[in-house]
A and B are shown apart, each in its own frame.
Chain A
Amino acid sequence: MLSQIAYEWPEFATYYNWVFLAGAAGTTLALSALGVILGSVFGLLLAVARISDGRLLLPLRVLAFAFTEIFRRVPFLVTLMLAFFGFQIFFSDVPLFVVAAVTTTFIASAFLSEIIRGGLNSVHRNQWEAAEAMNFSQLQTIRHVILPQAWRVILPPAFGFFVMFIKDTALASQIGVVELTYAAKVLNNKGFSAALAFGVVLLIYFAISYPLARLGAALEIRLAPSRHHRP
């Protein structure tokens, strides 16, 4: 296999192929980043909506509940296909990347909302009560008291999800988005061996996800106050 790769290498390592791969890596990175960043923001909003109380906010709670339960349960690929055909019917000129980005953001939001909600719920009730007795609003309580204590519980599964999620963006290749997996298939079809085409892509995936995992570990130390790590 190695001699095969060495034999193909000079032809593979052309300027054109690198530009093609770089573009595809950019798409994967963008899909991942959008999912991770927007997903975290919307996930936090959904989680806060779900733990809110008061009759006025009931519709919001129901909506947030339905959203998370649906998008966590439907397979990624099915959601992607539905979004793809839905967009085709109503906005046919929307770029494929946008379809994929919207879908990944939806799914990331749903999963992260549950992770964040679990973290918020892990903080002892007496913290809420103390804040309430001192006239904190619910949002002030979450911001100053609950969320800072919840990071410890939220971060490990959230970054676990991010790493999984980057790999899942490969599914966007199924609707024709030219991301890394799609690019590997194209190169494979052009005659390069699967070992080479997918091997190179594997390394690029690793290069995207490894720093993210490191960032997670660093954030855990920075944000999670415990007996051992103080900010």
Chain B
Amino acid sequence: MHHLDITGLEARYGKNTVLSGIDLSVARGDVIGLIGPSGSGKSTILRVVMGLLPPVSGSVKLDGQPVDYAKAADVRRLRDRIAIVFQQYNLFQNMSVLQNVTITPTKIKKRPKAEVEEEARVLLAKVGLGDKLDSYPDQLSGGQQQRVAIARALALRPEILLLDEVTAALDPELVSEVLDSIRVLANEGMTMMIVSHEMGFIREVASRVVFMASGKIVETGPAAQIFDAPTQPRTQDFVSKILRH
């Protein structure tokens, strides 16, 4: 059984169709790399899966269970198991690093505070921010904020982690520290969907690469196939352009 099963997914922003007929199956422990030009709908897939944009049609199944996005209870259950890290970090500006990581487990999931804090310290140390617990987001660099956002998502103990262009807003120098954190997770067997323009990174960590254009999936396959021997002309065009740089 697939961990996440997306079939015939369609979504719109107003009258613009941004996703049409997306079929994508994610097995447990899969690391899916979503690539494609801007506006191709990569991030939108993550937003729809997360329930932040209601789909027009199609289905999403989590462990074989269909999710009805019109039902609040279904969405809540799904969000208990899937976490997302945003491109702009979206850290809570009014909270310290530690509070950002602990607030949801303590206030929303009602887990004991001492246990959550202990776990948060471990997670923050793991992403290299053990000494920044009391800093506020606006005192951190972009790379540090993004790693806090990753720790915050992990503190939810998700089964699936969605990463939305997590390095897009970062200085090139800061990219590697964030990628290191993600690489560790991939090696630990976390199911992930990664939207990224870091082709070298996708090639390295993704168990499968999905190339999208104009709201559709053009080609899916192992990294070696997509990057070295793409079968579709659209993919060939994209890959030849990005690899030239």
Contact = CB atoms under 8 A, between A and B. Distances in A.
Interface stretch (B54-62, B77-85, B201-209, B231-239): B77-85
Nearest to B77: A135
B79 A134 contact: yes
A17 interface: no
A136 B95 CA distance: 15
Contact residue range for chain B?
20 to 34
Contact of B92 (A132, A135, A145, A230): A145
B52 A144 contact: no
Contact of B108 (A126, A140, A148, A227): A140
Contacts of B86: 126, 129-130
Contact of B84 (A133, A140, A145, A225): A133
Interface in B73-124: 76, 79-80, 83-84, 86, 88, 90-94, 103-104, 107-109
Interface in A134-160: 134-136, 140, 144-145, 148-149
6 contacts: A129-B52, A132-B51, A133-B83, A140-B107, A145-B92, A145-B94
A127 interface: yes
Interface centre among A126, A149, A230 (most CB of B within 10 A): A126
B98 to A, nearest CB: 14
Given A134-B79, A135-B76, A135-B80, A129 B94 contact: no
Nearest to A128: B90
A83 B84 CA distance: 53
Contacts of B92: 127, 130-131, 144-145
Nearest to A223: B94
Given A129-B52, A227-B138, A230-B136, A135 B104 contact: yes
Contact of A133 (B79, B91, B109): B79
B186 interface: no
Nearest to B76: A135
Interface string B159-184: 00000000000000000000000000
A145 B25 CA distance: 35
A144 to B, nearest CB: 6
Contacts of A227: 138
Contacts of A149: 93-94
Contacts of A132: 51-52
Nearest to A54: B72
Given A135-B76, A135-B80, A230-B136, A129 B90 contact: yes
B190 interface: no
Given A126-B88, A129-B86, A129-B90, 6 more contacts: A131-B92, A134-B156, A135-B108, A145-B94, A148-B94, A225-B136
Contacts of B129: none
A227 B94 CA distance: 11
